[in-house]
Amino acid sequence: HALIFLDPDLAVTLLQRPSIPFSRAVQVNRLLAYTHWRLGEVDKVLPLLTQVFEKGKDRKGKPDSTDVLAVAHYYIEVSELKQARDYIDQALTLSRNSALATLSDAVLLWLERKKDDALMKLKRAKKLDRELINVKTLAYEHWWKTKALTALKEMLEKL
């Protein structure tokens, strides 16, 4: 994971090696998608995230909410807010008390110009996990990029 930040090009090369066992393919695709995301190669991200989303389902056939949020943040960044809304709603259904999903919902509401609702969601996310609402952490540990981070900064100024 650290290599993605230190040398993303090398990370892509290593992650694309054919010797990786199939059982780890979901994890590898997740890391590879994140690496392309960090490199700004946005066009390569969605196909990989789609594979992660489809293959990373649990025994009940439900995807991981973190993977769902990754797809949502992809759509936020490319300004397709309607698609982002679908994925964030799905993440909230999968994990109703997730601070990350609630915070993502707040950001999307802000971008949808529903400012009062966004601030209420932000307060709820803070109650769920006060430490999560850190712009640097979100930028480096999650799928947050410029649009979501800028919206969060604006919201935090309003509180």
DSSP-assigned states of every residue in 93-127 = HH-TT-HHHHHHHHHHHHHTT-HHHHHHHHHHHHH
Mean pLDDT over residues 1-30, rounded?
66
Out of 49-53, 79-83, 101-105, pick the least confident: 49-53
Please name which of 58, 59, 76, 67 lies closest in space to residue 34, comparing C-alpha atoms.
67
Q: Is the pLDDT of residue 59 over 80?
A: no
Mean pLDDT over residues 43-59, rounded?
82
SS3 state at 2: helix
Cα 71 from Cα 57, distance rounded (Å) = 14
pLDDT value of residue 22: 46
Q: Which pTM value belongs to this model?
A: 0.81
Mean pLDDT over residues 102-131, rounded?
96
Q: Is the pLDDT of residue 23 over 70?
A: no
Q: Which one-letter DSSP state was computed for residue 63?
A: P
At 5, the amino acid letter reads F
pLDDT value of residue 67: 87
Instruction: Report in angstroms the alpha-carbon separations of 46 from 19, 29, 114.
Output: 23, 11, 27
Q: Is the pLDDT of residue 1 over 70?
A: no
Cα 34 from Cα 28, distance rounded (Å) = 10
Residue 125 C-beta-side C-alpha neighbours within 13 Å: 24
More confident residue, 53 or 49: 49
Mean pLDDT over residues 52-70, rounded?
81
pLDDT value of residue 17: 63
Cα 64 from Cα 80, distance rounded (Å) = 21
pLDDT value of residue 104: 97
